[in-house]
Structure 1
């Protein structure tokens, strides 16, 4: 009985390792006609995002969909499509998310300016809190003695 439990624990501990050990291999590696095509492909794949991995480029991802997209990009390149045409095709299928640098338009303005707006809002909140705290601590004009006493009571030290 003890032997069974030991075997079970070994299997339980090995299962996560086995799950991570299964790397996806590209069954058909890319065959380029010349170095210029290879360079163009790698530049383009570096500018596109894997739609599954979310934070890896198409060139870096090992996901099955990334492999399919790499083959599709190469096929589009061989059809004579330019880099903007390839990107437009992928954007039409997967949305702006597939681009590492999304275009600036009405749909993506929040993506471009959102971080600055959040930073500005945070700065305004911090300034207001600091001003309010310094006014209450100094007992500035407009502060009642009750408000100052309430601040003193809130202090733990």
Structure 2
């Protein structure tokens, strides 16, 4: 009984050390809160692989959420907030990077891949049609065998 009690106390203590208090922000209106939620959903955590700062529990994401909230209170626009975080953490924090010379390949790769696949399919179809349209001529020996087989079939079929 003492072991079970100690086990449950250890479980409770470990749960308390992992617990984290979520930050609560006060907004003037529902639209401001929605704006905040949209901003933190479209910004990527620099530490996490592919998680936005709304879902990440990393310390850097908490700092970024606080920075977004503070900039909103200061009256910054969405573009100013995003530009500020991009200048601080790099283009990686945007899920949809701007189209420029650095991101050309990022945006062009899907189109290049689709075009390449289309050209490959066209090439295979054209090649198979060319190969299928050229029927080889039968030799005299092959014709004689076919004629003999047809004659035997006609004899057995009528009889």
TM-score (norm 1): 0.62
2:54 to 56, 59, 71: 59
Any gaps of 5 or more consecutive residues in structure 1? Answer: 1-20, 141-157
Alignment of 1:6-155 (within 5 A): 26-27=20-21, 29-35=23-29, 36-139=31-134
Shift of 1:88: 0.4
- Kindly provide the CA deviation profile for residues 69-103 of structure 1, in whole angstroms up to 9, marking residues without a partner as x: 11121122223322111100111122222112222
1:14 aligned partner: none
Any gaps of 5 or more consecutive residues in structure 2? Answer: 1-14, 136-159
Shift of 1:128: 1.0
- 1:71 match: secondary structure: helix
1:13 aligned partner: none
Contact 1:49 1:56 in 2 (8 A): yes
Distance 1:68 1:27 in 2: 14
- 1:105 match: secondary structure: coil
- 1:45 match: secondary structure: helix
Q: How many residues align?
A: 119
